[in-house]
Each structure stands twice: as structure tokens, then as C-alpha cells.
Structure 1
Amino acid sequence: MNNSTVFYTIAFYNIENLFDIENDPHTNDDDFLPTSAKRWTKKRYQNKLMKLGTVISKIGTQDTNIAPVLVGLAEVENKTVLSDLINSKNLIDENYDYVHFDSLDERGIDVALLYKKDDFKVLHSEVFPVHLINEKGEQDYTRDILLVQGKLHNELITVIVNHWSSRREGEKATAYKRIAAANKVNFTINNLKKADPNTKIIVMGDFNDNPNSESLQILEKEGHLFNPFKTVWSQDNGSLSYNFEWNLFDQILFSTNFFDSTNSNLVFSQAKVFNSKFLTQYRNKYTGQPFRTYVGLKYKGGYSDHFPVFIQLKTSLKITKPFID
């Protein structure tokens, strides 16, 4: 027998408003209809599905030649768009399925987890709301936190997918919302560790905060997580650009037992931003920034205003050589 190292890519991608073209009377999806100012037509919808499928199928393949085994997503409207995505031209052969719950988010967007059915077996899933109160004393609805437990390479792992509140009203004015989300995740982690102190946990998301923000510091320190994206982020490297400065709101953290090769078949290898040239703008002052679907009301026909991020876990499989006479 000999050992062959196998790599699993685990990714997160904010896919910038993946809405279908149907009106949902229960959510605020009016911007994404054929009759809206954005003119969100069937052709544009199908073009976005094709483009997103291309991206997801290529994340991490420079190192592994295999599409990601798990992909957390932000800004999906419903199960319809997820079904259309995994059945799109560039993903249908990857045999993905998904976990998704509708949240009470005011814009009608949720998080989800894609997983390869051949490699990952879902055992349990649930969502946790983040309770926020606005200045009027009313509940401020945001995206739920998604928890999925399953087996990868015969090891139980828990994946927690997030899309925390935006900075739209200002970074400092909204910081308490993201701190509340961090505390909710840590509460969940503590409960998981009470049940199993050796549990393996991956926390991913668009946190709308950078690795050095208070919310991420709380998540890292109190959740006892490692954040490899602290050293990935630089003035030249991030997952989105604002005012020509790179931010790294999209991150993947994990419990430190993913470093323990003696007690785990899954060991952390590397973390990267997936920013291949085809995902970027290339003609104007925004060269190198994410090639977006929309800028305001103007349709650009790109992928997303975020780059995906990913980590890779490595393992060793024992391969039996065939007998040759």
C-alpha cells in the first residue's frame, strides 16, 4: 500500500443578489423583476447562473483539479435559484445538493450551503436568528445563521454559514449588529463543544467586517477559532474593493483541531482569495476589481461584487496497488 494525498476545497462566495424573475409578495424583491428599473430578465438571470457555475466549478482547481466539496453562499433568494444553479451547465456534473432555509431578512436573501453528495453526507441542519432591535425599538430582521453537520472523509464536521449585517448606515453605527452575530455564533460553538469537546467546526461567511474588526476578534478569541485570512488580507489582496481599498469581509475560520494530524484525517493546508483574472474588470480605472452584475441600476453582466474565498484540507488515502503478474 502507499499513501496518496487528497485535497478538499471548502469555499464561500457572496454571489450578489441571485434572484429569480418571479415576484414574491412576501419579500422585497421588486428590484429584480423584468418590469423593474434594473430590467432583471430571464436572459440576464440565465447568464448569471452560467457565470456563477463557471466560478464555483473552478474555485481551488489550480491546486486540486476538483471543484469544491462545500460552498457557502450569501445573497440567494430561495430554493428555486439554488436548484437552477446546481443544475446549470457548468455544475450539473458535479452532483451538488444544497441546504437552505428561508429567513425573515427584509430583502428576502438568505445563506445556503452547497455540498457534493458523493463526498459529504448531511446529518443535521438548522438555523439561528440574530435578534436585533433598531432605534425605534422594533425587531430588525437580518439573515439567519445556518448550521450544517455532516461527514466528510468519514469525519464529523460542523459548518456555520453567515451573512452579517451591512455597514450601509456606517461602520461604527452598525458594529453592534455584527458583534451580536459574533456572540450568537460563539454561543452555538459553546453548545457544540459541551456535547463534544473535540468537535471540528468551520465558520464561514460575509461578515461585513475585516479580520481586525472587533466582531471577528470576538469570534476568533472567544470561539477559539483560527482565522487564516488575517495574513491573506493586504493592501493588494481582498475579496471586495470600496473606494479603491481592499476589504476582506469574506473569511473562513476553523477550530484548531484541524491542525492536529495525529487525531484527524482532515488537516488545514492553505487559504486563498479566488481572484482569477476572468473574474475581474480589465478596461478602466477599476481594473483588477470584481466584475459585478450591476453597478446601481446599470447592468454590467459580470459575476459578483465579491471574490470567493477558500481553504483546503488535506488527507491521506491508502491506495492499494493492483497486482501485476
Structure 2
Amino acid sequence: MKRIYLAIFLFLIGFYTSAQSILEGREENKRGDFRAMFYNVENCFDCFDDSLKLDNEFLPNGVRHWNWEKYQKKVNRISKVIMAAGGWEFPDIIGLCEIENRFVLEGIFKFGHLNQIGYRIIHRESPDRRGIDLALMYQPEVFQPLDTSFIQLVYHGETVSTTREILYVKAKLHSSDTLHVFVNHWPSRWGGQLESEHKRVSAAKLLRQKVDSIYLQSPKANVLIMGDFNDYPENKSIKKTLGADGVAGEFKNQQLYNLASVFVKNGSIGSHKYQGKWGMLDQFIVSGSLMNKSAVLYCNKDGMSVFAPDFLLEKDETHFGLKPYRTFVGYKYHGGFSDHLPIILDLWRK
């Protein structure tokens, strides 16, 4: 009954009709029994000073001239994307990154259109110097957390963490399956891709260790990894260190498979556009056990999609084609949604 109510609510606000346009490669009405979403929302800050974080640029008198009106518009737009990305039902779980704090997360519900939906939030303040956090939102009647931890990344030679944690949630689904979920926002490429690569390799090692510890306890564990990795599927951190393969050949339970790898060959769309080229910084990676169609819970090779309706895109005047309709271009306020597009994964159950 609740899901029928959600569908009616979505229809009445009239947003779905403007958003029905495109899940890349799939029709929206073919959503699975369980839908996961990940979205880098691009610098979603409040407009209040946090003396413990480097957030001065997002103050009314800061270089970005960020204010209450812009903040409200931002969280309202995020809520609309979440509603549209669900199809006729809302996503069951949503990973978010580049949010400043719990207040910002709650604003997505309070000032957006999700205040009656019943999502719950898993979040804590990260050690990131700018105050950039990640979080998981979930529908409790579908996804029931059993264990949660925030895994700190400490670089070699350092004694404390200065970057985002990896969020881990073990949960029971309404299908009685157990799902191990990791939400990631790996260190950026600031200073150069090669110069910063060791930081993302460190994140990949940490994540691999946690995944392997799960396999020791449960060899057929269902593992779902999502995030903005600030590396592409073919880069060292993803392919070699984490050991995430493309979706081809025979699937092995304890092997990781990168569902974003198919977009590398396509090139017509991605989650992010840099210097005129689409790329997949945002990815879903799953265990081989989730690629087994004889299992109770599984996904298809093409189960991942980029959510790219018209309202999230604008004309690329420099490099031609389209690009994400972002909030900022440099330090100039542009009024859009994000410099990333959301990604979606559908799982099915027998």
C-alpha cells in the first residue's frame, strides 16, 4: 500500500512526466525488485560557518557567495532527482557524496519533496578537512541494517585520517537475503592523476581487505560497492588493487565485477564529463554471487544505468554534445544540479 501511495504522490507533483526521458540503455518501467542509486551531488553545503572545517568559500561572504536561497534550491533539486530516478517507486537505497553534514541531508527531506517518504539516514561527520561527507539513505521496510561501520583511511606515513571514510552497512532485505553495501568517495585527483594515485590505491587496499574479511566469514556473500572513485574502471586502483573485472566470462562468487566497465567501450554517456569526454568515475561493483541468476537475489550484466534525463543536461558549447547541468562553473554560480549524473543499479529476486 505504501508503494502505491508513493507512486501517486510522485505523479501528483508532476515531476515524473518531465523526468521519464532516459535511463541510458533501458526503459524506466523495467526497474528491478530492488533499486540502488548513487549520486555525487557536487558541493552540497549549508551557508553556516563550521569553525572546524574549511568551508569558508560556501558562506554568504565567501568566494562562491553561497546563501540560504541557493542552499534551499540545491536540496530541493536533489530531492527531485531522487524521485525521478526511482521510476514509479522510489530507490530503495541511495548513496550520496559531497554533502557537508547531517543538517544538509535532513534538508533534502525538509525543503524538498521527500518529507513524507520515510527514508532513514546513515551518516557521521568525516575527518575530511573541507567537511565533505558521504551517507546512505534507505527505506526501512525494504532494507534493514544489521551492522554499520565507518572505515577510516589513513595514508602511509600518517597517523590520522584526513579524508572521507568508507561507509559499510550489512543489511537484511525484504527477500531475507543479506547484502553487504559499501559507499565510497575516494581521494580526488587534485594535483594530478599520477601524483595522487597512491591515495586511491590506499583506499582500494582498505576496501579489498574489508571485502576479503567478509568472504572469510561468508564465501557466497552478496557484496555491493558503490561510489565516486575518482578513477576509471581501467585504472590501477580499481582494476588491479581492488581487483574488479569487467562483466564477461564465467562469474565466480568471490570475484568482484565492475558493471561500469561496459560504459568505457560505449563512450556516448558517462557519469561525468571532463575536457569533452564522458567517463565513469561513479561505479557499481558487485560480487560474483550477485551475477548468478540462479540465486535468490541477482543482477544482470546491463543492470547498471546512468540516469540522464534532459533536465540534468545542458548543451556543451565548448566540446559539443551535452554535459551535466552543474551548480558551479569554476567559482561562478550556474544554478544547475551537479557536475555528476546519478547512477542506478537494479537487482532482481526469484
Question: Do they superpose with TM above 0.5?
Answer: yes
- The separation in 1 between residues aligned to 2:244 and 2:184, in whole angstroms, is 18
Corresponding residue for residue 245 of structure 1? 277
Q: 1:57 to 1:40 in 2, by over 3 A?
A: same
* Structure 2 contact 244–258 (Cα < 8 Å) conserved: no
Q: How does 1:247-286 map to 2 (within 5 A)?
A: 247-268=279-300, 270-282=303-315, 284-285=317-318
Q: 1:147 to 1:241 in 2, by over 3 A?
A: same
* Structure 1 contact 149–156 (Cα < 8 Å) conserved: yes
Corresponding residue for residue 78 of structure 1? 101
* Structure 1 contact 10–69 (Cα < 8 Å) conserved: yes
* Structure 2 contact 233–260 (Cα < 8 Å) conserved: yes
The match for 1:146 among 149, 167, 174 is 167
- The separation in 2 between residues aligned to 1:174 and 1:152, in whole angstroms, is 37
Cα deviation digits, residues 245-285 of structure 1 (max 9, x gap): 11210001011111223332344461111111110113734
Q: How does 1:14-163 map to 2 (within 5 A)?
A: 14-61=40-87, 65-133=88-156, 141-153=162-174, 154-163=176-185
Corresponding residue for residue 231 of structure 1? 262
How far residue 315 of structure 1 moved from its aligned partner, in angstroms, is 2.1
How far residue 138 of structure 1 moved from its aligned partner, in angstroms, is 7.6
SS at match of 2:314: coil
Is residue 214 of structure 2 the alignment partner of residue 214 of structure 1?
Answer: no
The match for 1:305 among 339, 342, 348 is 339
Normalised by the size of structure 1, how large is the TM-score?
0.89
How far residue 60 of structure 1 moved from its aligned partner, in angstroms, is 4.6
Q: 1:86 to 1:224 in 2, by over 3 A?
A: farther
- The separation in 2 between residues aligned to 1:16 and 1:250, in whole angstroms, is 13
* Structure 1 contact 130–184 (Cα < 8 Å) conserved: yes
Cα deviation digits, residues 25-82 of structure 1 (max 9, x gap): 1111111111212111111000001111111111152xxx212111111111111111
Q: 1:236 to 1:261 in 2, by over 3 A?
A: closer
What amino acid maps onto 1:231 in structure 2? V
SS at match of 1:180: helix
How far residue 221 of structure 1 moved from its aligned partner, in angstroms, is 4.3
Q: 1:132 to 1:245 in 2, by over 3 A?
A: same
How far residue 7 of structure 1 moved from its aligned partner, in angstroms, is 2.2
How far residue 242 of structure 1 moved from its aligned partner, in angstroms, is 1.0
How far residue 10 of structure 1 moved from its aligned partner, in angstroms, is 0.6
* Structure 2 contact 244–285 (Cα < 8 Å) conserved: no
Structure ranking higher on relative contact order (CA contacts 8 Å, 6+ apart): 1
Moved more, 282-291 or 246-255: 282-291
Query: Percent sequence identity over matched residues?
Result: 32
* Structure 1 contact 257–264 (Cα < 8 Å) conserved: no
- Unmatched tracts of structure 2, length 5 or more: 1-30, 246-253
SS at match of 1:31: helix
SS at match of 1:158: strand
SS at match of 2:56: coil
- The separation in 2 between residues aligned to 1:53 and 1:221, in whole angstroms, is 31
What amino acid maps onto 1:104 in structure 2? P
What amino acid maps onto 1:238 in structure 2? G
- The separation in 2 between residues aligned to 1:114 and 1:107, in whole angstroms, is 22
- The separation in 1 between residues aligned to 2:312 and 2:78, in whole angstroms, is 10
- The separation in 2 between residues aligned to 1:229 and 1:6, in whole angstroms, is 18
Q: 1:87 to 1:150 in 2, by over 3 A?
A: farther
What amino acid maps onto 1:102 in structure 2? E
What amino acid maps onto 2:338 in structure 1? S
More strand by share: 1
CA RMSD of aligned residues (A): 2.0
SS at match of 1:93: coil
- The separation in 1 between residues aligned to 2:138 and 2:312, in whole angstroms, is 23
What amino acid maps onto 1:188 in structure 2? K
Is residue 35 of structure 2 the alignment partner of residue 9 of structure 1?
Answer: yes
Corresponding residue for residue 197 of structure 2? 175
Corresponding residue for residue 322 of structure 1? none
Q: 1:261 to 1:253 in 2, by over 3 A?
A: same
SS at match of 1:281: strand
How far residue 220 of structure 1 moved from its aligned partner, in angstroms, is 3.2
Corresponding residue for residue 327 of structure 2? 293
* Structure 1 contact 225–255 (Cα < 8 Å) conserved: yes
